[in-house]
Structure 1
Amino acid sequence: MPTYLPVSYQVLNAEAAFFLKEANQDLMRNSSLQARTEPFFIQQARRMPSINASYGPMSVQQTIPLELLQSPGPFNGPSFTSPSSSISSSSPLPCVRMFAFHETQEVRGMCRLKGELGMCVAELEPLASWFNPSTVRHGRQRAPEQAQGTPVELYYMVQSTETGECSSEDLRKGSSMRTEHQGPMGYFSGPTPMQRIGSVRLFQPMSELRLDSNFVVMVPSRPIRQRETVSTFLALSTLSPVQIFTLR
């Protein structure tokens, strides 16, 4: 195995950020004890985000330049990469279509691979009803608790295009609903079937109440009825030195 610089990275002041890995990443790129490169994507940030790099007891932190930040979308899915060896340089890069399924409902989004790395970020907006507790019960199974969130399954497919543009008309073609006999793997677009990304859980919006520089309490944004059971979350800053605390 090649040697590498064992530096730990962390994105700060961002609601959601992802470190990316290329499908055909060259292992020798970071085979140096002098430098290391890590691509990342920031979904949304309320303050100017910064990057922290630490190596043993040493660390350094720097604010990310504004020109490197992308505009946030309503719901950002994972980034997609395409192996350059399978696509001709003279052909336009394909479109990536992303699907989110909840019970019998479906929403879609799309993006087109671009750039030297052939990457894009697909965005879609879940239905407002998805943030409510599920009303479907299977046999004797109890309805999931609101604190567990709403389960959503994510899939994607890659579709070639001759014009180099992703048509929104193609995205709306086909049924917008699925039944128990039509699983997501039954959907096809040309020769490319759907591929599963994974599952996520959606939660209702929360309001943040900062207690001090270490703790933040998150409570439901909507009004709370008397005798209603609600869930709250207590978050601890990743840079906090606090190891033990008492909750009253």
Structure 2
Amino acid sequence: MRASLESLQRLFAESLETDRRPVLAQLRTDAALQKRIDLYRNNVRAHRRDALASAYPVLRALVGETYFDAMSKGYAHEHPSQSGDLNRFGAALPDFIGRYETDPQYRYFVDLTRLEWSLHVAHYAADATTLTQQEWAAIRPDDLLDAQLAIHPACALIASRYAIADIWKAHQPDGSLPTQIDSPTYALVVRPHWRPEVLVQSAAAHAAFGPLQRGATLNEALDAAFEIDSGFNFTSQWREWIATSAITGLVHGAPPQAESTPTAGP
């Protein structure tokens, strides 16, 4: 009986994921067709590998080409692409690298890849309209404290026991490697313009920004920050969040309300 189209498609797909000749034999291919399938398989693998290299350039620089190629092949075997968009292909790599690399001295790879993936996602995140400094200044302090704040879609919080932000920055222009790897990091991925950046924060700032992302009011977020650090400098942190467009406005587009100016009586 002639194989169904669905069966042939399944066998062809399997032949792209494995080097085992029995799969190809079931397609009753000749040598020339097998060579073309091998070429197609190699192209698929190369595209997947390039997609991972694009999303994880720092990991690639740290481990070298041979390690990265072997890791890419293992990852693709466990996590075949589920989308026609290869920009989504590396989403599960942080979990995978935790199982793939078992040497304790490289445990920071997990959090580093979490940071790199957040930067990758931030690059493709939607844009957002931000309030101007004048619009922010026009909001009454009490209204601001009671408000839910709009967070830029590119923002992502990453906490780690390792100096992952310093490691990432070391691989940027004019960067230098940190002297200590075991240094806690609280990082916020931001995209003030079109290029994602890593903003290193305090533990208190990290504790405040998380609730804001989850819809808490600014007052509730400040409570979380001051519980961590009673000396938390909110004014300085607020300026940094505004300057990096981490906070873009008020939720639901609530219009800024200017403070009323007392008028003289008759």
Structure-1-length-normalised TM-score: 0.24
Instruction: Say which one has the larger Rg.
Output: 2
Point out which structure has higher relative CO (alpha carbons under 8 A, 6+ apart).
2
Higher strand share: 1
Q: Which has the higher helix share?
A: 2
**TM-score normalized with structure 2 length:** 0.23
